[in-house]
Amino acid sequence: MPDLASPTTARPLTVRRITAAEHGRFLADHPGSSFLQNPHWPGVKIDWRGDSIGFFDGESLRATALVLFRRLPVPVPVLKNRSLAYIAEGPVFDRSQVALESVLPPLVQYLKSRGAFLVRVGLPGVVRRWDGSEVRRALAAGEHRSVTQLEPIDTDSAADGVRARLSAMGWQAPAESEEFEAGQPQFQARIPLQPELGLEPAADGGFSPAVEAALSRMDQTSRRQTRKSTRSELTVSRGTAEDLPAWQALYEETAQRDGFTGRPLAYFERMFRELNSGLGSGADSGGAGDTAPDTECTLYLAHLQDQLLAAAIYVRQGQFSWYVYGASSSAERKRYAPRALQLRQIEDSLAAGCTWYDLGGMSPSLDPQYELAGLTRFKTTMGADVIQTYGEWDYPVNPLLAKAFNLYMARRG
């Protein structure tokens, strides 16, 4: 990922709303952008109001941001037009050509004029990366408190300067925490992919070199179970919108078994519809048509004859892919149906030329007794490295309301 180093000029840009088509064209030229910046995403997050905004140098569009607005959760009439302005994984721009100082101050002024009491941005970029096998060993040993105490394999040399520049502009850094943040977690698990190694199957019918490279990152148990899943009688297929009720039933079974609160079927129906609306004929509610970024949302199903054993929801946009949701049955565990779906997602990511397959957020804690340690163990055994992003930075337009909102959220969650 490009760093956030300061380019030679930092002229403030002009901010105004743009159409979904304009937004889609810009993202199509930035294949490293997240689907959370896709102009169709507000159609999924219906509790928020979404706006696509552009940053212009004259008539030249230099940056974009999908902003989600959420009203204050208090029934006070004088505050009814006040809202949190949230930008996940954005703004998106060429950081070698456009400075933070050109984008963020005019962003704040624009959102202030729209009634924002707090602006929260999760700047794209990787600060540090740790080898997944080292994290796995450290977690087993229990000798370190946090991933941050380990030696990273990659460090962005510009990161400290970026943080200093953000602070100088009045932005507040995210607090260190072992918990998952309310928005996008600062620590994430990502599997590096190497499509350039080749996608042709081996002469003996085995996996391609690119898939073998991904498998080699797994621990021995995960690799053995993944290979075994391909020798089972499982059928792995892509589902359609008509299969979402079957997904939902398995997802609710998983939520009850694992003790988490799931999302309703309507959410997944919107996700499937909106993130696939830029494909095919180009007819869609947002008007982006064939100018939308290269995005797809896929439902994968693993059946043993007529029995659904596992399902997964996967999103790909440009050079990134994400394992977003998963569900599995308690039946036929030795078939390793979830492993078969992970393998299929890796294969499809490689076929699309993706360089990263994202398994989602995780805690930086290395305490083997910590309640989320199992999640870290699973994701690193699947071959994921641990990356630290810049996290979500706050600009309190109205410090009093921002403090009250953060206190409310802390009590709530």
Tell me what pLDDT residue 285 has.
38
Three-state DSSP state, 241 = helix
In what side-by-side order are the strands of the sheet with 385-389? Answer: 154-155, 126-130, 385-389, 187-192, 356-361, 320-328, 307-317, 295-304, 234-238
Residue type, 82: R
CA distance 57 to 62: 7
Domain locations in the chain as residue ranges:
14-124+391-412, 194-354
Q: Retrieve residue 197's tokens.
A: 């190694």
CA distance 326 to 338: 8
Tell me what pLDDT residue 292 has.
62
Closest alpha carbon to 351 in 238, 184, 223: 238
CA distance 16 to 64: 10
Residue type, 96: S
Tell me what pLDDT residue 78 has.
58
Return the HEC string of 199-239: CCCCCCCCCCHHHHHHHHCCCHHHHHHHHHHHCCCEEEEEC
Handedness of CA 290, 291, 297, 298 (dihedral sign): positive
For residue 300, give the H/E element and its range. strand 295-304
CA distance 216 to 58: 50
Three-state DSSP state, 397 = coil
Tell me what pLDDT residue 10 has.
74
Tell me what pLDDT residue 17 has.
98
pLDDT tens profile 246-283? 999 999 999 999 999 999 999 999 999 999 987 443 33
Tell me what pLDDT residue 294 has.
85
CATH architecture of 194-354: 3-Layer(aba) Sandwich (3.40)
pLDDT < 50: residue spans in the chain: 1-5, 8, 279-290
Angle between helices 220-230 and 209-216 (to 10 degrees): 140
Closest alpha carbon to 68 in 93, 51, 53: 51
CA distance 88 to 38: 10
CA distance 124 to 391: 9
Question: Position of tokens 């706050």?
Answer: 394
Tell me what pLDDT residue 350 has.
98
pLDDT tens profile 6-38? 554 578 999 999 999 999 999 999 999 999 999
Helix count (H) and strand count (E) of the chain?
A: 11, 16
CA distance 221 to 385: 17
Asked if the bond preceding 364 is cis, omega within 30° of 0, the reply is: no
CA distance 108 to 395: 8
CA angle 149, 152, 155 (to 5 degrees): 120
Class of domain 14-124+391-412: alpha beta
Q: What is the largest CA-CA distance in the chain?
A: 71
Domain 14-124+391-412 matches domain 194-354 at the CATH topology level: yes
Q: Retrieve residue 185's tokens.
A: 């977690």
Q: What is the CA radius of gyration of the chain?
A: 22
- The Cβ of residue 292 has, within 10 Å, a number of other Cβ atoms equal to 27
pTM for the predicted model, two decimal places: 0.91
